[in-house]
Amino acid sequence: MSLTLKGLHHVSAITAKAPENFRFYTEVLGLRLIKKTVNQDDISVYHLFYGDEVGNPGTELTFFELPNAGRNRDGNNSISALSLRVPDDKSLDYWKQRFSSLSVEHDEIVSRGGRLTLAFRDHEGQRFILVSDEHNEGVAAGRPWAKSPVPQEYGITGLGPAHLTVEASEHTALVLEKVLGFSRKSTYPSLTPGQPDVIVFETGEGGSGAEVHLEERTDLPGQRLGRGGVHHVAFRVDNEEELKQWVEHIRSAQLPNSGFVDRFYFRSLYFREPNGILFELATDGPGFATDEPLAHLGESLALPPFLESKRAQIEAHLKPLDTRQ
């Protein structure tokens, strides 16, 4: 297959309370809010985008606000953990101390697939893994925001490997390799005794910004998605013309899909792999400066043109993100 994905584009998760989410990801993790908008499929709730200083593809962590969502029940057939890249091993020591001082639940620093990592959970139980880029080669990292409360030399630089946990790994592996063009890079031992090795897949230039880690677990129930869970993972497509080729490719693979979707800030295609995990393919552009200057990203409610006529209605139902103002 001549089509090649460039790496991770963004990941989208679920929060029950946007103001608390905003405080954690900007004040604790030091990410920049790069777009404050609404869920285009439910305009009564926020869709928040965090990222590096300009919201580069591959640095975007997004959240749908679902106020009545129950807590996520961790389990199989899920995006079971998200990774965030940091510059080096020394950064992990900084973050471990920061998490301890701020009472953020975290584990010890351990090696996964040849990289040092630090697992933690956010205030809603969302599972994350900080990944050191000390020896990383491949997809370039982003640049942390200069106005972040976290020093730039330790700041989060983008998305690391997406961790998938499934009951039957061969089905997901088939889609990754034969449909999406990923290649098997390596394996490493599961941190759960008695379980199969985790399989590392990579695409594009490779490296921590272009990997999927696939773990087979036979001892878990199925996930029940809720707050603190991950809705989907998106992979990078260079441009709109290439995305249209992907639409035809996914259709020819007989995978049920959304077809071409215009999200204004990027163009998308959605489909589920055989274990039910939702994948998205998304273009690198147009980008988040389409309707706001770079210096003021995320400061005001941004709406795509097709929702602008409903601005008054939308704003009347949204609560302020920073409730202390």
Q: Token match 């972040």: residue?
A: 148
What span, in angstroms and rounded, lies between the C-alpha atoms of 253 and 139?
27
pLDDT tens, N- to C-terminus, the chain (325 residues): 589 999 999 999 999 999 999 999 999 999 999 999 999 999 999 999 999 999 999 999 999 999 999 999 999 999 999 999 999 999 999 999 999 999 999 999 999 999 999 999 999 999 999 999 998 889 999 999 999 999 999 999 999 999 999 999 999 999 999 999 999 999 999 999 999 999 999 999 999 999 999 999 999 999 999 999 999 999 999 999 999 999 999 999 999 999 999 999 999 999 999 999 999 999 999 999 999 999 999 999 999 999 999 999 999 999 899 865 4
**Cβ atoms of 179 and 253 closer than 8 Å:** yes
Tokens of 205: 């230039």
What pLDDT, on the 0 to 100 scale, is given for residue 294? 95
What span, in angstroms and rounded, lies between the C-alpha atoms of 30 and 53?
11
Domains of the chain: 8-296 (3.10.180.10)
pTM of the model: 0.97
Of 15, 106, 19, give the one whose Cα is nearest residue 61: 15
Q: Kindly tell me the sign of the dihedral angle through the C-alpha atoms of 86, 206, 255, 49.
A: positive
What are the DSSP calls for 85-115, one per residue? EESSHHHHHHHHHHHHHTT--EEEEEEETTE
Tell me whether the omega of the peptide bond preceding residue 293 falls within 30 degrees of 0, making it cis: no
CA triple 159-165-168, angle to 5 deg: 140
What span, in angstroms and rounded, lies between the C-alpha atoms of 163 and 122?
17
What pLDDT, on the 0 to 100 scale, is given for residue 323? 60
What pLDDT, on the 0 to 100 scale, is given for residue 325? 45
